[in-house]
């Protein structure tokens, strides 16, 4: 029998979106109010998402002014289950000379997140693609007046707005 994947029922999809909402709101709350860094919140949110009440999660959302994204730029589903997906392009696909805004850092490994942060990269930051090597997909970027060379793997996890920033 061929593999067909899994399909959630409507109820299953709603339950999954509620859990994603909890997780991402907890991450945002831990960063915004408790001083966690984006490389440490994932595991903590994993533990807490199963223990907190719906009331606490909604109070966290209110305290955060109902954010659309978590600290990594991942969309937070609304209380009614709507997810506003961003149109993102990997940095690896951005043409040389374009300046773009980082919308999402699609990474959860703490050591990689710490390295990305050390380069001054996070959602909301503007990056200019200066050069791309023909081999090994090395990309030279400028962030905050500093030049950095990043490899293919990192240039794929850095998700940018679909059009150049102004």
At residue 16, what are phi and psi to the nearest 5 degrees? -65, -45
Can you give the residue ranges of every domain in the chain?
Answer: 1-85, 88-161
The fold of 88-161 is SH3 type barrels. (2.30.30)
* pLDDT above 90 for 9: no
Tell me what pLDDT residue 164 has: 47
* pLDDT above 60 for 152: yes
Tell me what pLDDT residue 108 has: 85
Tell me what pLDDT residue 90 has: 93
Tell me what pLDDT residue 163 has: 52
Span 45-58, mean pLDDT? 93
* pLDDT above 80 for 59: yes
Tell me what pLDDT residue 166 has: 44
* pLDDT above 90 for 16: no
* pLDDT above 50 for 153: yes
Kindly report the CATH number that applies to the domain delimited by 1-85: 1.10.10.10
pTM for the model stands at 0.85
Tell me what pLDDT residue 162 has: 60
pLDDT top residue among 166 and 109: 109
Q: What is the dihedral of CA 33, 35, 41, 45, to 10 degrees?
A: -40
């Amino acid at each position: 029998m061929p593999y067909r994947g899994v399909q959630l029922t409507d109820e299953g999809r709603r339950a999954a979106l509620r859990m994603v909402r909890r997780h991402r709101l907890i991450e945002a709350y831990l960063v915004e109010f408790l001083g966690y860094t984006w490389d440490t919140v994932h595991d903590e949110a994993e533990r807490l998402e199963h223990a907190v009440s719906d009331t606490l999660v909604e109070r966290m959302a209110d305290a955060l002014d109902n954010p659309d994204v978590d600290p990594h730029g991942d969309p937070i589903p609304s209380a009614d289950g709507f997810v506003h997906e961003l149109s993102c392009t990997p940095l690896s696909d951005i043409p040389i000379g374009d300046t773009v805004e980082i919308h999402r850092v699609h990474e959860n490994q703490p050591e990689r997140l710490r390295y990305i942060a050390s380069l001054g990269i996070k959602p909301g930051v503007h990056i200019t693609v200066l050069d791309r090597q023909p081999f090994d997909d090395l990309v030279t970027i400028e962030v905050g007046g500093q030049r950095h060379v990043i490899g293919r793997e990192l240039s794929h996890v850095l998700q940018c707005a679909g059009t150049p920033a102004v």
